[in-house]
Amino acid sequence: ANTILFSPFRTMQVTPHKLIVMLGLNEGSFPRTERRTAFDLLAIQPRYGDRSLRLEDRLAFLEAIMCARARLIITFTGKNISNNNPIPPSPAVIELLQYLNDSEPAEENHIKPINQKLHGFNPAYYSKTEPQLFSYSHSNYLAATALMTSHSNGCESEPVHGHSAPDPKELSDLREFFENPAKFFFTEILNIRIPNPEWDTIEDTELFDLYGLHEYKFTQNLLDKILDDPNSEPDREFFNILQEQSAIPLGTHGIALANRIYKDMQQYFATAGIIELDKSLLDTLLEQRSLPNTNLRVQCEHGTVTGLLPIFTRDQQDFLLFFRYSKIKPKDRLNARLAHLLASAAHGKPLSTVLVGSAEERDFLKPIPPEEARHKLNQIIGLYLKGHREILPFAPATSFYFANKYTPETNQAEFDQIAGTAWRQGLFPENRDAYLFEAWKQDGPTSNPDFSDIAIKFWKDFPELPTQPEEKDNV
């Protein structure tokens, strides 16, 4: 007595009870379909009495109906999880409804499916608008009451208050924020993490070639190996370890591919040099590893910024060097710009910044007076503080290319075209980022009236901006 029995939906499994509940009678899953192999002789010459899964499920359905003494409940998935379109139930359920409704001449007595809500705390379960929906859950009632109260107030959204940025602010914090202000606001301020299948799932396919992110990760491992011991070549054991880590393809093909990329890196380092430092690139990177980090600290009106950076000195001229064995991305330029402003404001001497990429790309940031650097850094800190109260309409690549193409004479039509191109163009455009898209949807941050001012304020005076968005590899 007073028990709930669970049983598989098979023939001779259901016993008579006052209430029978049949769960999951969805289209395509009930009744089961026959999937016979090509060499199944029973399918070639069927005989009376051969087993049929479809007929067995229909028999179990009929037995369950007959076992219901007082009430019968049938559930099925009625909406598509992707587009919310209606989904019909199992054909057996449709036939049952048709039979019952045809036997009842009065239409008001026809049986109609009850559309249950997605969440148990939906206010419809605790209101009289839909009498067929009800719930006895007290916790869900409290949640539904709070939900109805918040909707009835009709409050407009306001910036988040009470969350202040730390002081002093680290250079790494500024860099992390401006790389994706939307992600920073969701994760750090609202404590919300948006799942991204492209990054949250582990690949289960074997690697057969090196391209994109896989090639970039391998070249980073190879670069670390070269800088650790520039006089020796990577041996077979080094490549075997990378194969065990699925960093390169297996077998001799993977080792041959890795050796080819290593030879390309050797040739690149043999010819690449830093004119400003009058040294080869490899020697400069080796020297950079041995340099002590200079502790930099700048006090601005909006707060203090600190950071540790290695500074070169040549002929009474100081330099910062940033290198990436790949195409230079806007995020690399963002990192170089923030470091250049901090070092120029705190170092007290003329300082240049060199940003080098693998495709013969170079950015050279000229020295700027300390007071001017402090003023620009103060503006950036102001944007950083604003991003703690609301989502800052800024995306590195979109803002970078917009600042390059925009002029004061740009009209609205040209503005929309420039903004759309910057937001959507490229192999991995920023509108595919889960946080940026959730914050700005299809139009992107360019739809915000403050976008253009912030983009120009951040990227103003950056040297020789490219004229078209480059093909980004999302690394």
- φ, ψ of residue 301 to 5 degrees: the values are -60, -40
Residue 1 lies in a domain: no
Residue 470 lies in a domain: no
Digit-coded pLDDT (tens) for 70-92: 999 999 999 888 888 889 999 99
Q: Quick one: 264 and 373 in the same domain?
A: no
What pLDDT is recorded for position 427? 53
Q: Quick one: 419 and 306 in the same domain?
A: yes
Q: Quick one: 299 and 433 in the same domain?
A: yes
Q: Quick one: 327 and 222 in the same domain?
A: no
**Tokens of residue 379, six digits:** 């503006």
Q: Quick one: 187 and 333 in the same domain?
A: yes
More confident residue, 396 or 411: 396
Residue 305 lies in a domain: yes
User: What's the domain range around 41?
Assistant: 17-113
Q: Please compute the mean of the pLDDT values over residues 162-180 and round it to a whole number.
A: 81
More confident residue, 210 or 462: 210
Please, which pLDDT band fits residue 466 given cuts at 50, 70 and 90?
A: very low
Look at residues 97, 113, 129 and tell me which one is the last residue of a structural domain: 113
Residue 124 lies in a domain: no
For residue 342, pLDDT beyond 70? yes
On average, the pLDDT of the chain sits at 82
Q: Please compute the mean of the pLDDT values over residues 96-115 and round it to a whole number.
A: 88
Number of domains in the chain: 3
What pLDDT is recorded for position 184? 93
Q: Quick one: 103 and 222 in the same domain?
A: no
Please, which pLDDT band fits residue 413 given cuts at 50, 70 and 90?
A: confident
> What's the CA gap between 26 and 93, in Å, rounded?
9
For residue 194, pLDDT beyond 60? yes
Digit-coded pLDDT (tens) for 432-453: 888 988 888 887 888 888 988 8
Q: Quick one: 301 and 372 in the same domain?
A: yes
For residue 179, pLDDT beyond 90? yes
Most confident of the ranges 82-86, 206-210, 256-260, 391-395:
391-395
322-346 exposure pattern, b = at least 16 Cβ within 10 A, e = fewer: bbbbbbbbbbbbbbbbbbbbbbbbb
Q: Please compute the mean of the pLDDT values over residues 305-320 and round it to a whole number.
A: 86
Look at residues 113, 148, 178 and tell me which one is the last residue of a structural domain: 113
Residue 101 lies in a domain: yes
For the whole model, what pTM was predicted?
A: 0.61
> What's the CA gap between 341 and 146, in Å, rounded?
48
What pLDDT is recorded for position 361? 79
What pLDDT is recorded for position 200? 57
Percent of the chain with pLDDT over 90: 23
User: What DSSP assignment string belongs to 4-44?
Assistant: -----S-TT----EEEEEE---BTTTSSPPP---TT-HHHH
Residue 151 lies in a domain: no
Residues 394, 395, 398, 404, CA torsion sign? positive
What pLDDT is recorded for position 465? 44
Contacts of 367 (CB under 8 A, 6+ apart): 344, 350, 351, 352
Look at residues 277, 301, 336 and tell me which one is the last residue of a structural domain: 277
Q: Quick one: 85 and 218 in the same domain?
A: no
Digit-coded pLDDT (tens) for 13-31: 788 889 999 999 998 889 9
Q: Quick one: 259 and 305 in the same domain?
A: no
For residue 42, pLDDT beyond 70? yes
What pLDDT is recorded for position 338? 92
Digit-coded pLDDT (tens) for 113-134: 999 988 888 888 988 888 889 9
Residue 357 lies in a domain: yes
List % helix, strand, coil for the chain (3-state, nearest 5).
Answer: 45, 15, 40
More confident residue, 361 or 352: 352
**Tokens of residue 273, six digits:** 């040099």
What is the DSSP-derived secondary structure letter of residue 338? H
More confident residue, 229 or 472: 229
For residue 384, pLDDT beyond 80? yes
Q: Quick one: 417 and 453 in the same domain?
A: yes
Q: Please compute the mean of the pLDDT values over residues 287-316 and round it to a whole number.
A: 87
Please, which pLDDT band fits residue 428 given cuts at 50, 70 and 90?
A: low
Contacts of 237 (CB under 8 A, 6+ apart): none
177-213 exposure pattern, b = at least 16 Cβ within 10 A, e = fewer: bbbbbbbbbbebeeeeeeeeeeeeeeeeeebeebeee
For residue 340, pLDDT beyond 60? yes
Residue 465 CA: distances (Å) to CA of 174, 179, 377: 22, 18, 20
Strand partners, 247: none
Q: Quick one: 373 and 264 in the same domain?
A: no
Please, which pLDDT band fits residue 463 given cuts at 50, 70 and 90?
A: low
Strand partners, 280: 273
Q: Pick from 138, 139, 113, 9: which is nearest to 61 by CA?
A: 9
Q: Please compute the mean of the pLDDT values over residues 42-64 and round it to a whole number.
A: 87
Residue 474 lies in a domain: no
> What's the CA gap between 61 and 31, in Å, rounded?
9
Q: Please compute the mean of the pLDDT values over residues 155-184 and round it to a whole number.
A: 76
For residue 242, pLDDT beyond 70? yes
Q: Quick one: 379 and 307 in the same domain?
A: yes
For residue 276, pLDDT beyond 70? no
> What's the CA gap between 195 and 401, in Å, rounded?
28
What pLDDT is recorded for position 199? 59
> What's the CA gap between 258 and 222, in Å, rounded?
9
